[in-house]
Amino acid sequence: MRPGLKPVSVIVLGAGERGKIYADYALTHPDRIKVVGVAEPRRHQRMNMVEAHRIPDENIFEDWAAVFKRERFADAVIIATPDRLHASPTLSAAEKGYPILLEKPMAPTEEECRAIVKTVMNKGVIFSVCHVLRHTNYTRELKRIIDSGVLGEVVSIQHLEPVGHWHQAHSFVRGNWRRSDESSSMLLAKSCHDVDWIRYIMGVPCRSISSFGSLNHFKKERTPNGAADRCIDCPGDVEQSCPYSAKRIYMGFIEKGVKGWPVDAVTLDNDAENLVKALREGPYGRCVYACDNDAVDNQVTIMEFEGGKTACFVMTAFTEATSRRTRIFGTKSEVEVDGRFIRVFDFLGMRHTVIDTARDESDLAGHEGGDLGVVENFIDAVRQGDQSKILTGATETLESHLIVFAAERSRLEKRVVNVSP
């Protein structure tokens, strides 16, 4: 940072898990960013952010719309509201001239995405979407390797998003993203940055797509004999044999001393007694076979890119919650990536090279450093007033979202779909 350069002041709209993660960067880097305002309807989350960042009373709001009734009072905004509340605050922020860091997805519909892109480009504001995978250390190193020509021409990609059995049950069966009509499709909610990453690595546009997926397991007809509608009421032998038991999952986190996500989504008073109460009364205590969910638990998407290049993306719930795994097939080398190690096999030399991309496991180390990277990238762009510094701006995000929308049409209509330009 140049001497005398002031920190970027930001207003956070949405003080939930993602909003808190991005705002917390200010606690360890006060010379680069300062949180000066918050809008959040839930009092507990709102006041936690107020206290952590010493936000003055006049900049505390329950409703995001109230922020934009004021004259601009910060350098930028971070928008981390629920998926279906992305478009309106983003459009309002752009009209006020605020640089915007927007949590993914951009919006749940193509029409809203196009409206956002049109507005932010017309207004000329700095705009970034939190496609965190582009900002990881391993992605930067992988892109350098590809650009060096070591792989030759990239011909095909296999990419796995291992959601994790308990994460699927928490977020996409019992939680906020369980229904597409209340949030967005599973592919958009969970994996739009995987699709964005594949497009980024491939380096050319996607032309057509075919996708298959279903809600295979987490539905009523899969209910074990004797199971109750709530895990807390389930007979011992049935509950103990269920890998998706809410008692086992959340009590296991509490026993490990976890006080943040996912426990704080279930109960804010995260001890055993309050957890039992929450599992008896709240949504996270429901049997995974007795919820109102429709999010798919497995999906395979095949993409054809310009020049006949191909990619296969697999999203599945039925895994250990681990890092994404990728294989990239080039004309000169094959590469395997697991979120930390990059393993290159050179065809000509018939030899392996292993690169360790580990970085400091400090603040915002989530998504293999992608959470940290996306905030740093945005701050640098705002400081320099330079949209070209952004890795995932309006046009890049619109392109990858159009691929996701086409994939969902393909899944529902059971046909190959051409990707909109």
Tens digit of each residue's pLDDT (9 = 90 or more) over 41-77? 999 999 999 999 999 999 999 999 999 999 999 999 9
Instruction: Judge contact between 166 and 320, C-beta under 8 A.
Output: no
Instruction: Determine whether 115 is exposed, middle or buried from the number of CB atoms within 10 Å of its CB (0-12, 13-18, 19+).
Output: middle
Residue 379 lies in a domain: no
Tens digit of each residue's pLDDT (9 = 90 or more) over 285-317? 999 999 999 999 999 999 999 999 999 999 999
Q: Are residues 207 and 322 located together in one domain of the fold? A: yes
pLDDT of residue 371: 87
CATH number of the structural domain spanning residue 192: 3.30.360.10
Gap between the Cα atoms of 418 and 421, Å rounded: 9
Q: Are residues 253 and 153 located together in one domain of the fold? A: no
Q: Are residues 156 and 268 located together in one domain of the fold? A: no
For residue 108, whether the previous peptide bond is cis, meaning omega lies within 30 degrees of 0, is: no
Q: Are residues 141 and 211 located together in one domain of the fold? A: yes
Residue 270 — pLDDT band, cuts 50, 70, 90?
confident
Residue 377 lies in a domain: no
Residue 420 — pLDDT band, cuts 50, 70, 90?
confident
Cross-strand bridge partners of residue 334: 329, 345
Q: How many helices (H) and strands (E) are present in the chain, helices listed first?
A: 15, 15
Mean pLDDT value of segment 13-36:
95
C-alpha torsion sign, points 196, 202, 208, 212: negative
Q: Are residues 200 and 224 located together in one domain of the fold? A: no
Tens digit of each residue's pLDDT (9 = 90 or more) over 349-395? 999 999 999 865 453 456 567 788 999 999 999 999 999 999 999 99
Q: Are residues 158 and 305 located together in one domain of the fold? A: yes
pLDDT of residue 2: 47
pLDDT of residue 118: 98
Q: Which of 419, 150, 391, 214 is nearest to 311 (CA)?
A: 419
Greatest CA span in the chain, whole angstroms? 68
Gap between the Cα atoms of 57 and 37, Å rounded: 9
Q: Are residues 125 and 141 located together in one domain of the fold? A: no
Q: What is the DSSP string of 9-27?
A: EEEEE--SHHHHHHHTHHH
Gap between the Cα atoms of 385 and 135, Å rounded: 19
- Domain termination residue (choose one: 80, 98, 131): 131
pLDDT of residue 364: 42
Q: Are residues 319 and 408 located together in one domain of the fold? A: yes
Q: Which of 182, 200, 59, 179 is nearest to 129 (CA)?
A: 200
pLDDT of residue 188: 97
Residue 272 — pLDDT band, cuts 50, 70, 90?
confident
Mean pLDDT over the full length of the chain:
94
Q: What is the DSSP string of 302-351?
A: EEEEGGG-EEEEEEESSS-S---EEEEEESSEEEEE-SSEEEEEETTTTE
Residue 123 lies in a domain: yes
Residue 376 lies in a domain: no
Domain hosting 194: range is: 133-218+293-359+393-418
CATH number of the structural domain spanning residue 101: 3.40.50.720
Q: How many domains does the chain have?
A: 3
Q: Are residues 42 and 101 located together in one domain of the fold? A: yes
Residue 226 lies in a domain: yes
Instruction: Judge contact between 37 and 60, C-beta under 8 A.
Output: yes
Q: Are residues 57 and 164 located together in one domain of the fold? A: no
Residue 183 lies in a domain: yes
Q: Percent of the chain scored above 70 by pLDDT?
A: 97
Residue 4 — pLDDT band, cuts 50, 70, 90?
low
- Domain termination residue (choose one: 131, 166, 193): 131
